[in-house]
Amino acid sequence: MNRSGPSQRKTKADVRGSETVVKLGPDIKAKIGQQLRLMYSEVVDQGVPERFVEMLKRLDEATDEGIEE
């Protein structure tokens, strides 16, 4: 990874935790967005666990029994 020396790191660390507004380029926003979606999709890709399918089915049936149609 191409990085500059420790002096630049230090500047970054100084900024951290303060209210200094850092101008974010579109590439950084894109990278954060990509990481967010990757993290999120780890869970989304698991689909719908069976317990929720079963639970809604039972709720639906219970509602049927509660309503005289």
Partner 1 sequence: MSRRNDVRDAMLAAVPSLRAFAISLCGNIDRADDLVQETLLRAWANLGSFQPGTNMSAWLFTILRNLFRSEYRKRRREVEDAEGSYAESLTSLPDQNSRLEIGEFREALKMLPPEQRESLILVGASGFSYEEAAQICGCAVGTIKSRVNRARTRLAEILSIDSASDFGPDRETRAVVNSS
Tell the smallest beta-carbon distance from residue 68 to partner 1 (Å).
13
Give the nearer residue to partner 1 in terms of CB position, either 51 or 68.
Answer: 51
Token code pair at residue 27: 């590439």
Cα 13 to Cα 2, 6, 50, 60, 61: the distances in Å are 18, 10, 46, 55, 58
Interacting residues toward partner 1 by CB under 8 A: 1-3, 8-9, 12-13, 15-17, 21-22, 24-25, 27-33, 35-49, 51-53, 55-56, 59-60, 63-64
Give the nearer residue to partner 1 in terms of CB position, either 45 or 68.
Answer: 45
